[in-house]
A and B are shown apart, each in its own frame.
Chain A
Amino acid sequence: MSTKPRLFFFLFLLVTCQAVAQTDSVDHAGRKIRYWNNFLLGGLVGDHKETFFSFATTHGVRLGRLAVGLGTGLDAYGDWKVIPMFASASFDFARIKNDALFIQMNGGYGRALYTGEDRVGVPSGVENGGGKMLNPMLGYRIKADRFRIYIAMGYKFQRNKYSYDYNNPIWSFAPAEFPRYTVQEDMQRFVLQMGFGWH
C-alpha cells in the first residue's frame, strides 16, 4: 500500500473511532480526568507565497485547565508532505463561561515525503526526509452542545533533512564519484487552524 492510501486509512480510522468514543472520565484527587480530542484543518503561510493545507488531530486527557495528548496529521510544504507525530500540552489560561482561551505547545518529529516531480540528474530519486517539529499555538475553544469548536493559530517549525545523489554524467578519464547532497531545510510557517473536538 502506498503512503497516501495508508495515511487516509489511518485518518479515517481515527475519525471512525472518534464517532463511537465515549467521554470517559475518572476521578483524580477529586477532579475528573477526561478524554479529549480535536480535529483541526487549516493552512500554512510562510516562505512560499501560496498557502498550503495543514491537518492535525490530537487525542489525550484533560485534568482541569491542563490537557496533554498525542497527535498526528498532515502538513504540506510545497513538494513535501509531512506527517508529524507529536506530543501536545495545553493550558486554559482564561475561561469565559464555557469557552476558553488556551495556549498549546506541540513538539515531535515529522516524516517528510517528497511528492514533487522527478529531477534531472537524480535518477534514484530524492530520499524521504524529516526532522523535529515545534508548534506553539494560541487558541480559543468554544462550547457548542456536546462539541467544542476550536480556532487556533501559531507558529510551526518543521525541520526537513533529506539527501539525494546527483548523478550527472561526466566525460572524464578520471575516476568518478558522484556527489551526494544532504539538505537541512528549516521551514517556518504561520499556521491557522479551525476544527472541532470533544472535551
Chain B
Amino acid sequence: MDTLENRLQRRIHVSLYALLFLTVLLGISVLLEGCSDKCQLTTEYAYYEPVYTPLAELRTSVRVEEPRALESVGKIYYKGETLFVNEPGNGIHIINNADPAHPVAQKFLSVPGSFDLAVKGNTLYTDSYVDLVAFDIRDLNNIHETARLENVFANVNSLGFIVNASGVVTDWAQKKMVNLSEPDCETVLQPWGGVYYDRGIALTSDAQSNFNAKAAITPGTGSGPGVGGSLNRFAINAGHLYMLDGPDVQVIDVTTENSPVAKSRVNVAWGIETIFPYDKNIFVGSTAGMHIYDISTPEAPVKVSTYEHVRSCDPVVVDGQYAYVTLRSGTACQGFTNQLEVIDIKNLASPQVLKTYPFTNPHGLGIDNTTLFICDGDDGLKAFDASDINAIDQHLLAHYKDINATDVIPFEDVLMMIGTGGIYQYDYSDASKITLLSHIEVVPHVD
C-alpha cells in the first residue's frame, strides 16, 4: 500500500542515491582533470626538387627542326630578309620575312637555354645556358653548329638556380610529403605558416623576365650584323659581340664569324638589362641608369659616363644626339615610374635629360628617322612623330590599343613588333597611316 511513509522512504532513498552519484561524479571529474584530448595531425603537401640536366647532355641536344608553332616570344632579331624569334629557353624560330605581309616559318633551331641572339654575316650567335654557340646559317637546310665557347657566361641561372658543375636545372620534380605529428589540440586549427617547401625554392626573377629589347638600328644586310630589339642583351658592333652577363659586359671577338674568341669582361653594374650599339659606343640600360661605354678599342670598352635615374626597368635606343629611355615599374623592375625620357647625349660625358613624358607601362622602343615607336605594355603600341623632342606627346601618329606590346624593330618601313599575342608587322611607310601587315599568333604549349 502506497502510504505516506512508503513514499517518504522512497524519496529518502532517491536522495541518498543522488548524493552517492554526485560523490562518484566528483571523484571521476577529479580523475578526468588530467585527461586531455589527443590529436594526430597529418600534413600532406607537395614540394618541388630541382631536376638537373648535365651540361654535356644539353650540349649534344642542339638540333634543327621543322617549323613549329610559336609557344612564347622572347627576343627578336632581323637580318637580311630573315626574322629570328627567340622562344625563351627553347630555341629560335627562323622566319623568311621577304614579304612581311606573308612571313613563312622555315626552321626551328632547338637550343636549350637560349634567350638572346645576334647575327653577323652568315653566323647566328645565341646563348645556351653558360655557353655561347655559333651556327652557320648560310644554307637554312644545312644549319650547323660551327663553334661553341663553353662556360663563357658566369652568371646564368635557370629556374632560379645558378648553373654549376651539377648541370642546369631544367625542370621540377614534384615530391609528395606526408608528415605525421601529435600536436596540442589547441593548435591544430591555427597553422602559423604555409611555407612547406622542404628544400626551399625561392627563385630570382631573372628566369621569368625574358623580355627586354629595343630596336637597335644597325645595318641589316650584308656581312655586318643585323638589327636587334631594344630589349636585347646581345649587340654586335665593330666586329665584336657584346653580351651582358650578370654585372658584366663580356666581349667576344667575332671578326672571324665562325671562330668567336672570348676577349674581355668589363664590370658595369648589377641590374644591367639591355645593350644598344651606336656608332663607337655601347649604351647599357640598367635598373639604375644608362651607362655609356666607348668602344674605340673594341676589346676594351671604356666607361664614358653614367646617366642615373630612378630605379626601374630601362630599355634604351639612340638616334643621333638623343637617347630615348623608357622607365617602367613592375615586379622585376621595382620602382613606380612609367615614362619616356629623352636624353641629350651630344656630350657623352655629360648626358642631360631634356624631356620626360608619362606613359602607362612602357617596355621596348624603336626609332627610325623621326618615327618613334613605344611599346606601352597592355596599353598597346604607340607611334609618334619625334621631330620635335619637346612635344613628342602632341604628335601621336597611331595607337593600337587592343594588343600587348613588348618590343619592336622598325626597319625599312616595316615595324616588327612582339607582344604576348605573338609577332605583329606593320607598314609605316606612310607614318600617318600605319597598317597591319601580318600577325603570327602565339600558341601556348599544353602538356
Listed in ascending order, the chain A residues whose CB lies under 8 Å from chain B are: 45-47, 79, 96-97, 99, 101, 116, 119, 121, 126, 138, 140, 142, 151, 153, 155, 164, 166-170, 172-175, 177-190, 192
A181 to B189, CA, bound (A): 9
Contact with A along B13-53 (1 / 0, CB 8 A): 11001100100110011001001111111111110100000
Contact with A along B148-168 (1 / 0, CB 8 A): 000000000001100000000
Contact B48 A119 (CB under 8 A): no
A61 to B253, CA, bound (A): 100
Mark out the residues of chain B between 172 and 197 whose CB falls within 8 Å of any chain A CB in the assembled complex. Answer: 172, 174, 185, 188-191, 193-197
Contact with A along B256-272 (1 / 0, CB 8 A): 00000000000000000
Stretch at the interface among B202-210, B289-297, B345-353: B202-210
Contact B37 A185 (CB under 8 A): yes
Contact A177 B46 (CB under 8 A): yes
Residue among B24, B189, B208 making CB contact with A153, cutoff 8 Å? B24
Residues of B within 8 A of A170 (CB): 194-195
Residues of A within 8 A of B38 (CB): 185-186, 188
A181-B197 CB under 8 A given contacts A45-B32, A153-B24, A186-B37: no
- Taking the complex as formed, is B10 at the interface, i.e. its CB lies under 8 A from any CB of chain A? yes
Contact B207 A173 (CB under 8 A): yes
Residues of B within 8 A of A164 (CB): 189
Other than the given A172-B203, A187-B37, 17 more pairs (CB < 8 A) read A46-B36, A47-B185, A99-B13, A116-B189, A142-B17, A151-B17, A167-B194, A172-B197, A173-B160, A173-B208, A177-B46, A178-B45, A178-B194, A182-B42, A183-B42, A184-B40, A192-B25
List 21 A-B pairs, Cβ < 8 Å: A47-B35, A97-B10, A99-B13, A151-B21, A153-B28, A167-B194, A172-B202, A172-B203, A174-B172, A175-B48, A175-B174, A177-B46, A178-B45, A179-B45, A179-B194, A180-B43, A184-B40, A184-B42, A185-B38, A185-B40, A188-B37
A181-B191 CB under 8 A given contacts A47-B185, A175-B48: yes
Residue among B21, B44, B205, B207 making CB contact with A140, cutoff 8 Å? B21
Contact A121 B194 (CB under 8 A): yes
Listed in ascending order, the chain B residues whose CB lies under 8 Å from chain A are: 10, 13-14, 17-18, 21, 24-25, 28-29, 32, 35-46, 48, 159-160, 172, 174, 185, 188-191, 193-197, 201-205, 207-208
A99-B48 CB under 8 A given contacts A174-B203, A185-B188, A188-B35: no
Contact B201 A172 (CB under 8 A): yes
Contact B191 A166 (CB under 8 A): yes
The smallest beta-carbon distance between A172 and chain B, in angstroms, is 6
Chain B residue at minimum C-beta to C-beta distance from A154 = B28
Chain B residue at minimum C-beta to C-beta distance from A190 = B32
Contact A173 B48 (CB under 8 A): no
Chain B residue at minimum C-beta to C-beta distance from A185 = B39
Contact B191 A140 (CB under 8 A): no
Contact A183 B189 (CB under 8 A): yes
Contact B42 A45 (CB under 8 A): no
The smallest beta-carbon distance between A122 and chain B, in angstroms, is 8
Contact A153 B188 (CB under 8 A): no
Residues of A within 8 A of B21 (CB): 140, 151, 153
Residues of A within 8 A of B160 (CB): 173-174
Interface class of chain B by DSSP = mixed
Residues of A within 8 A of B40 (CB): 183-185
Contact A45 B29 (CB under 8 A): yes
Chain A residue at minimum C-beta to C-beta distance from B44 = A180
Contact B194 A47 (CB under 8 A): no
Residues of A within 8 A of B197 (CB): 172, 174
- Of A119, A166, A189, most buried by chain B (CB within 10 Å of CB) is A166
Residues of A within 8 A of B48 (CB): 174-175
The smallest beta-carbon distance between B23 and chain A, in angstroms, is 11
Contact A183 B41 (CB under 8 A): yes
A181-B25 CB under 8 A given contacts A173-B203, A174-B172, A188-B35: no
The smallest beta-carbon distance between A146 and chain B, in angstroms, is 15
A138 to B196, CA, bound (A): 48
A175-B172 CB under 8 A given contacts A151-B21, A153-B21: yes
A101 to B207, CA, bound (A): 76
Contact A168 B45 (CB under 8 A): no
Contact A121 B191 (CB under 8 A): yes
The smallest beta-carbon distance between A191 and chain B, in angstroms, is 10
Residues of A within 8 A of B190 (CB): 119
Residues of A within 8 A of B36 (CB): 46-47, 188
The smallest beta-carbon distance between A161 and chain B, in angstroms, is 9
Residues of B within 8 A of A151 (CB): 17-18, 21
The 6 closest A-B pairs by CB, nearest first: A168-B194, A174-B201, A179-B45, A173-B203, A177-B46, A182-B42
Residues of A within 8 A of B189 (CB): 79, 116, 119, 126, 164, 183
Residues of A within 8 A of B46 (CB): 177
- Of A116, A185, A189, most buried by chain B (CB within 10 Å of CB) is A185
Residue among B37, B191, B194 making CB contact with A46, cutoff 8 Å? B37
Contact A180 B45 (CB under 8 A): yes
A190 to B39, CA, bound (A): 18
A86 to B32, CA, bound (A): 24
Contact A140 B35 (CB under 8 A): no
Residues of B within 8 A of A175 (CB): 48, 172, 174
The smallest beta-carbon distance between B19 and chain A, in angstroms, is 11
Residues of A within 8 A of B41 (CB): 181-184
Contact B203 A168 (CB under 8 A): no
Residues of B within 8 A of A178 (CB): 45, 194
Chain A residue at minimum C-beta to C-beta distance from B331 = A171
Contact A183 B39 (CB under 8 A): yes
Residues of A within 8 A of B203 (CB): 172-174
Residues of B within 8 A of A185 (CB): 37-40, 185, 188
The smallest beta-carbon distance between B10 and chain A, in angstroms, is 7
The smallest beta-carbon distance between B424 and chain A, in angstroms, is 28
